[in-house]
Amino acid sequence: MTKKKILNPFREFSVNLKGDLQRYFATGFRKAQKKINKPKIIFETFLFKAGFHAVFLYRFSYLFYRLGLSWIAWLIQRFSVMVTGAEIEYNAEIAKGMLIAHPVGIVIGRGTKIGERFTCYQNVTFGARHLDPKRIFDFPAVGKEVTVFAGAVVVGGCKLGDGAVVGANAVVLSDVPAKHIAVGIPAKNKPLKGEVAY
């Protein structure tokens, strides 16, 4: 393995983790009621934010996957499941700026691709649908600035456009256009009005 191939995964890890931290810190600063105590918010993020722990452990497992050490990546993934309750497969592709509010019950399958500044709540599933008879597995592709609320299920090769929102307990089986919200079972798309609060 050449020096360049070794360095690229580390650079990717650093850029993505920095983007994740910026999301968590910005959220903490915004929620501060009085004078912002930056050291306290940073300390609390590292020590007490289970969502950040899930994100960090995913980044760490993906780093080892990119280095060709899938067995270590798998061990980190299993440890993350035990500690945080979230199962984010080490070979899912997730861009920088991911924010998980509550990690328990989150499952993100191995072939899922997620864009920047993704926000996710508890008990969310991104999974595959196999297409008989060849059992070809299709995973979702998620754009930038997408928010998925608690209990939602997104399965198959559907695409979520930039700025899309998936409502709580929705079951998404088809594409969601940019700046639309998917609600219901099965989910139906409606134009999104206003900004999403998280």
Which CATH number does the domain housing residue 98 bear? 2.160.10.10
| Predicted pLDDT at 180 | 95
Residue 183 lies in a domain: yes
Length of the chain: 198
Split at pLDDT 50, 70, 90, the class of 1 is very low
Residue with tokens 């930056």: 38
Residue 187 lies in a domain: yes
Q: Let me know: does 138 contact 157? Beta carbons within 8 Å.
A: yes
Please state which of the ranges 22-26, 38-42, 65-69, 108-112 shows the lowest mean pLDDT: 38-42
Assess whether pLDDT exceeds 60 at residue 3.
no
With a pLDDT cut of 70, the percent of the chain lying above it is 85
Rg of the Cα atoms in the chain: 17
- Listed residue (50, 60, 175) closest to 121, CA to CA: 50
Residue 197 lies in a domain: no
Range of the domain at 34: 3-191
Residue 49 lies in a domain: yes
Residue 21 lies in a domain: yes
User: How large is the average pLDDT for residues 79-83?
Assistant: 95
User: How large is the average pLDDT for residues 75-93?
Assistant: 95
Q: How far apart are CA 189 and CA 67, in angstroms?
A: 40
Residue 198 lies in a domain: no
Evaluate if pTM is beyond 0.85.
yes
Residue 65 lies in a domain: yes
Residue 137 lies in a domain: yes
The total number of structural domains that make up the chain: 1
Q: What b/e sequence results for 101-117 when a residue is b if at least 16 CB atoms lie within 10 Å of its CB, and e otherwise?
A: bbbeebbbbbbbebbbb
Q: How far apart are CA 179 and CA 173, in angstroms?
A: 17
